[in-house]
Amino acid sequence: MKVGVIGLGTMGRPIARRIARAGHEILAWNRTPGRAEGLPADSAVAVRTAGEACQSDLVITVLSDDAAVEAVMFDGGRLITTGMPGLIHACMSTISDRLARKLASAHEAAGQAYVSAPLFGPPDAAASGRLLIAAGGPRSAVERIRPVLEVLGRVQVISEDPAAANVVKSAGNFLMATVVESLRDAMAIVHGAGVDPREFAGIVTQSLFPTPVYQYLGGLLASRQAQGGLPVPNPFLKGVQQCAGTAEQQGVDAPLVNHIHAQSAARPATPGSTGQATPVPSRPQ
């Protein structure tokens, strides 16, 4: 397939590189020039505009948040209308279900298809094809692009409603946000009792919760606590915010979501505290 990739950041570059190496033609665009360096020269072309990237069978957006996706797809020339009829747009960004519905409606009006394809996994999983992709959208569109998505990892089809995949992604990020919050409190308590938090982290990650998320976050938080409780921003709070909004729309009682959301809103701002563009921790997505 001819695949446009819009957004060549931490996740976008390994995604574009892996798809290109699988034999697909890549039209790559990034708002900051020069990010296409390192893509296979025989199968990837750096295009000058996002509109050129949409002259493809499939366009994948890997952008930071709702604002970035809206700015590219709707503002400054309405990118959706520049795509060819029959184009499929797969958005792999962590966006709200509200925006997913807006994108689906706009693409349908343009004779195109929209698939929400948020991903779970770090950049090295994208590079090695070990992502988990939660796909939502028309079954025919999902199946048409499945061979490309499966180059990146396992595809879990959630629903024909694209927004449902985004709810799954935000719910997953909410769970990881609770891991950060609970580990941070537990580390502070054991450290206050004179226990090396790194020893406690070993118990947690080897016996109680032997999973990659706990292992990575537990080691990081333990090291920071041992160094005097240096602050670690919670990079998953955007998922909490999205879950709180979805729960309110649905009339669902979600006390823990609301509690963490309220607590995070009341905290003094720290770099990365919104979960956007934070360097710590960067491994789980």
Q: Give tens-digit pLDDT for 81-92.
A: 777 789 999 999
Model-wide pTM > 0.85:
yes
Out of 2, 102, 169, 238, pick the active-site residue.
169
Q: Domain 167-266: which topology?
A: N-(1-d-carboxylethyl)-l-norvaline Dehydrogenase; domain 2 (1.10.1040)
- The residues of the chain that CATH labels 3.40.50.720 are 2-160
- The residues of the chain that CATH labels 1.10.1040 are 167-266
pLDDT of residue 77 exceeding 60, the answer is: no
pLDDT at residue 76 in the model = 61
pLDDT of residue 188 exceeding 80, the answer is: yes
pLDDT of residue 270 exceeding 80, the answer is: no
pLDDT at residue 40 in the model = 83
pLDDT of residue 201 exceeding 60, the answer is: yes
CATH code linked to domain 2-160: 3.40.50.720
HEC readout, the chain: CEEEEECCCCCHHHHHHHHHHCCCEEEEECCCCCCCCCCCCCCEEECCCHHHHCCCCEEEECCCCHHHHHHHHCCCCCHHHHCCCCCEEEECCCCCHHHHHHHHHHHHHCCCEEEECCEECCHHHHHHCCEEEEEECCHHHHHHHHHHHHHHEEEEEEECCHHHHHHHHHHHHHHHHHHHHHHHHHHHHHHHCCCCHHHHHHHHHHHHCCCHHHHHHHHHHHHHHHCCCCCCCCCCHHHHHHHHHHHHHHCCCCHHHHHHHHHHHHCCCCCCCCCCCCCCCCCCC
pLDDT of residue 242 exceeding 60, the answer is: yes
pLDDT of residue 167 exceeding 90, the answer is: yes
238 in catalytic set: no
Confidence band of 97 (pLDDT split at 50, 70, 90): very high
